[in-house]
Amino acid sequence: MQIGLVGLGRMGAGMARRLALGGVRAVCWDRDDAARAALAGAANIECAENLAALCARLDGERVLLLMLPAGEAIEDTIRELLPLTSAGDTLVDGGNSYYRDSMRRAMALSQQGLRYIDAGVSGGIHGEAHGYCLMLGGTPKSIEIFAPAARVLAPHAESGWLHCGPSGAGHYAKMVHNGIEYGMMQALAEGFALLAARKDLDIDPARLAETWRYGSVVRSWLLELCAGILKDNESLAGIAPVVADSGEGRWTVAESIELGVPTPVITLALMSRFSSQGSSDFARRLLAMMRARFGGHATQPG
Amino acid sequence: MQIGLVGLGRMGAGMARRLALGGVRAVCWDRDDAARAALAGAANIECAENLAALCARLDGERVLLLMLPAGEAIEDTIRELLPLTSAGDTLVDGGNSYYRDSMRRAMALSQQGLRYIDAGVSGGIHGEAHGYCLMLGGTPKSIEIFAPAARVLAPHAESGWLHCGPSGAGHYAKMVHNGIEYGMMQALAEGFALLAARKDLDIDPARLAETWRYGSVVRSWLLELCAGILKDNESLAGIAPVVADSGEGRWTVAESIELGVPTPVITLALMSRFSSQGSSDFARRLLAMMRARFGGHATQPG
């Protein structure tokens, strides 16, 4: 099999190497010269000088895996690819696109004879070694075309990847996955904060996390990450208490609102990230001032 | 090694069998005749007719593992055991006791020459086969005495059990573990509710959960349970939407308040359980009535 891979960031580069190792010829491109250079010379990997060259180097019906940021980057790249591709080619969006965008793109591209797969990809930087979990949306035919690559990318040929449903279902599944991830991460973080606050009990949080990996109800991959993080730096010194969020948490909560299906914990986990970014500061200042005005309580300068 | 085991409920009975299988002679007692009868005749397991007989059948310095509900049951049993035990004996509370009770008990028992271990135990009904995760609080000497049993009960001889710290540290660690568990469970449940609400996307939640087990960020033992639950009964028909809570969630939140360390997601997961038990109904009725009074909005009879 051969595949075109566009976008050689942390995820894309790892996927290129995993595909190549699995015997899939990967023709790659990234607009960043350094990203291309980092992969040059690897067995089974070719770097093209531009998108047109990438498309030209692939024989027959092309499969193009796009590992790009959601939003403008993927939208622009699909537009650029349109004149370079032919009916029967398959575009796979492996980024974290909003599932409604994926539904729209699948519809629009199908009218030009192009196949489209929305592929939710989980596994982060560890996916290269352990395999990526793939959630795929699209027609049965398009999934059949991409399946050989999915079998290589996934942790196992027959598990860790799924044809979830029609277009949009892959990115919807990934959106929900990330919403769950927000809640699980927050629960773990809160628990370890309670452990850290009781120095008198002398509990080594890294050793406890390591212990929980065996037989406990909370055993999980995120717990394993916590064990490693706390082993390296128990006090988390030098790490700013600021947690970024990407689109998926917000979309999960928006979906919850649209459906009228409560997701209180996922929502609060998202709100906690907003707070960490400083966006609670106006409300907090106002709260401090209300206390000052009604009760004469001192405020802090800041 | 030999051990006295008091309390043959789901956890206690499983632990008795795991200990016996691991070569530890287990002398057991439960106030329920049927619980004793269920274990009678198993190799390496003896059932005593009462607590006094149990203590009499153990040679030398006794180790007594108490697998009893927190609160009165454990308090009463310790009181009954006092005249039956001798200085040097070790009592291990493997229930979900409040860590402050465990600190108090350890102090009181030490004044009578008895050793005391607070043992947080996780693993539920699966622990018998896979091993129990043990979080132990107590003196180094008491842990040394109990270690041979811990090595058999844990998933592996040298992992899955930990001397967390002084008395109280074991049950504190278990309390935090369960708080994390509340949050993780709620996050998973909310995510699967969003999947279930979008029938049009045709996502099989059991197959998706199964897929997430491989390479995804949310892979966890609780996810494995969800995969099995949804495979057996995708619509969850016949299950009342009522979630019980035991003490540990409440203690975690109380600890958060006492320390002034926020645990918003764990707290909300607990509150969501309260809601499921019907305890939001008064507030909801009042809300419905406020809408009726200010906006003329109809209420539902109920």
3-state DSSP: chain B helix, strand, coil percent, rounded to 5?
Answer: 55, 15, 30
A56 and A202 inside one domain: no
- CA-closest candidate to residue A171, choices B159, B292, B203, B192: B203
Both B84 and B228 in a single domain? no
pLDDT in the model for residue A124: 84
**Cβ distance B136 to B26 under 8 Å?**
no
Contact criterion met (CB < 8 Å) for A261 and B193? yes
Do A190 and B262 make contact, defined as CB atoms within 8 angstroms? yes
Which tens digit of pLDDT belongs to each residue from A251-265? 999 999 999 999 999
A114 and A158 together in one domain: yes
CA neighbor of A54 nearest in space, from A16, A23, A111: A16
Rounded to whole angstroms, the Cα distance separating B190 from B183 reads 11
Residue A296 lies in a domain: no
Could you please report the per-residue DSSP string of B179-212? HHHHHHHHHHHHHHHHHHT-GGGT--HHHHHHHH
Final residue in a domain of this structure, among B166, B200, B232: B166
Using the 3D structure, point to which of A166, A189, A209 is the last residue of a domain: A166
d(CA B26, CA B4): 6
Q: Are residues B136 and B198 both part of a single domain?
A: no
Give A262's contacts in chain B (Cβ within 8 Å). 190, 193
Q: Point out the residues of B that are catalytic.
A: 174, 181
**What's the confidence (pLDDT) of residue B114?**
98
pLDDT at B40 (0 to 100): 85
Angle at B188 between CA A120 and CA B205, to 5 degrees: 60
Q: What is the CA radius of gyration of chain B?
A: 23
Q: B139 and B15, same structural domain? A: yes
- In whole angstroms, how far apart are CA B152 and each of A132, B65, B149? 36, 14, 5
- Partner residue facing A211 (CB), from B160, B219, B222: B160
Q: Rounded to the nearest 5 degrees, what angle is found at the Cα of B247, between the Cα atoms of B244 and B251? A: 130
Do the chains contact at A201 and B164, CB–CB below 8 Å?
Answer: yes
Q: Tell me the shortest Cα–Cα distance from A28 to chain B, in angstroms.
A: 24
Q: Which residue in A has a C-alpha nearest to residue B265's C-alpha?
A: A265
pLDDT band at B275 (very low <50, low <70, confident <90, very high): very high
What residue in B sits closest to A268 (Cα-Cα)? B265
Give how far A60 is from chain B: nearest CA, Å: 31
Q: Is residue B301 part of a domain?
A: no
Q: Residue A33 burial by CB count (10 A; 0-12/13-18/19+): exposed, middle or buried?
A: exposed
- Dist CA B261 CA A212 (whole Å): 22
pLDDT of residue B30: 97
Shortest Cα distance from B7 to chain A (angstroms)?
A: 21
Residue B107, domain CATH:
3.40.50.720
**Could you tell me the end-to-end alpha-carbon distance of chain B, in angstroms, rounded to an integer?**
60
Q: Would A141 be classed as within a structural domain?
A: yes
- Residue A141 annotated as catalytic: no
In a shared domain, residues A152 and A9: yes
Distance CA B94, CA B74 (A): 10
Task: Give the helix/strand (H/E) hosting B288.
Answer: helix B281-295
B215: DSSP letter: T
Identify the domain boundary among B166, B200, B224.
B166
CB contact (8 A) between residue B166 and residue A268:
no
What residue has token string 């198993």? Answer: B42
Contact between B161 and B150 under an 8 Å Cβ cutoff? The reply is yes
Distance CA A250, CA A272 (A): 12
Give domain status of residue A122, yes or no: yes
C-alpha to C-alpha distances, A6 to A35, A36, A219, B125, B274, nearest whole angstrom = 11, 10, 36, 48, 49
CB B98 within 8 A of CB B247: yes
Does A301 fall in a domain?
no
Give the residue-averaged pLDDT of B240-267.
97
Q: Do B133 and A215 touch (CB under 8 A)?
A: yes
What pLDDT is recorded for position B41? 87
Specify the pLDDT at position B191: 98
Q: Is the dihedral of CA B22, B25, B29, B32 positive or negative?
A: positive
Q: Which residue in the set B123, B194, B220 is minimally distant from A215, CB to CB? A: B123
Q: B207: domain CATH number?
A: 1.10.1040.10
Same domain, A196 and A140: no
Q: Are A29 and A145 contained in the same domain?
A: yes
DSSP label of B31: S
A222 and A149 fall within a common domain: no
Which residues face B211 on adjacent strands? none
Amino acid at the residue B152? V
- Residue A29 tokens, joined: 């491109």
The closest of A164, A220, A226 to B206, measured between CA atoms, is: A164
| C-alpha separations of B259 from A198, A234, B62, B169, B247 in Å | 9, 19, 37, 16, 18
Q: How many domains does chain B have?
A: 2
Instruction: Give the amino acid at B39.
Output: L
Shared domain check, A282 and A209: yes
Instruction: Identify the bridge partners of residue B133 per DSSP, sorted by sequence position.
Output: B122
Domain that includes residue A241, residue range:
175-289
Residues B118 and B187 in one domain: no
R_g of chain A computed on alpha carbons: 23
Cα distance between residue A139 and residue A106, in whole Å = 10
- SS3 annotation, chain A: CEEEEECCCHHHHHHHHHHHHCCCEEEEECCCHHHHHHHCCCCCEEECCCHHHHHHHCCCCCEEEECCCCCHHHHHHHHHHHHHCCCCCEEEECCCCCHHHHHHHHHHHHCCCCEEEEEEEECHHHHHHHCCEEEEECCHHHHHHHHHHHHHHCCECCECEEEEECCCHHHHHHHHHHHHHHHHHHHHHHHHHHHHCCHHHCCCHHHHHHHHCCCCCCCEHHHHHHHHHHHHCCCCCCCCCCCCCCHHHHHHHHHHHHHCCCCHHHHHHHHHHHHHHHHCHHHHHHHHHHHHHHHCCCCCCC
- Looking at the complex, report in whole angstroms how far the Cα of residue B115 sits from the nearest Cα belonging to chain A: 18
Please tell me the predicted confidence (pLDDT) of residue A125: 87
CA–CA distance, B96 with B69 (Å, rounded to integer) = 7
**Is A136 a domain residue?**
yes
pLDDT tens-digit profile of B200-234? 999 999 999 999 999 999 999 999 999 999 999 99
Residue in chain A nearest B179 by alpha carbon? A191
Asked if residues B243 and B66 have their Cβ atoms less than 8 Å apart, the reply is no
The answer to whether the beta carbons of residues A258 and A250 sit under 8 Å apart is no
Strand locations in chain B (E): 2-6, 25-29, 45-47, 63-66, 90-93, 115-122, 133-137, 161-165
Residue B28 φ then ψ, to 5°: -115, 155
Cα–Cα distance list, A89 to A65, A107, A135 (Å): 11, 15, 20
Is residue B296 assigned to a domain?
Answer: no
Q: Does some domain include residue B29?
A: yes
Cα dist. A125→A14, A177, A273, A295 in Å? 7, 17, 22, 52
Please name the residue of chain A whose CA is at the shortest distance from the CA of residue B184.
Answer: A184
Contact A24, A1 (CB under 8 A): yes
Q: What is the pLDDT of residue B124?
A: 84
Q: What are the tens digits of pLDDT across the range B118-172?
A: 999 998 889 999 999 999 999 999 999 999 999 999 999 999 999 999 999 999 9
Q: Among partner residues B156, B216, B256, which is closest to A133 by beta-carbon distance?
A: B216
- Chain B: give the shortest CA distance to residue A192, in Å: 8
pLDDT of residue B8: 96
Low-confidence ranges of chain A (pLDDT < 50): none
Are residues A131 and A250 located together in one domain of the fold? no
Cβ separation B172–A198 shorter than 8 A: yes
CA distance B244 to B50: 32
Of B137, B183, B219, the CB nearest to A221: B219
| Overall average pLDDT of the B26-44 stretch | 94
pTM for the model: 0.95
User: With an 8 Å Cβ cutoff, are B180 and A191 in contact?
Assistant: yes
Partner-chain residue, chosen from A214, A222, A268, that has the shortest CB–CB distance to B155: A214
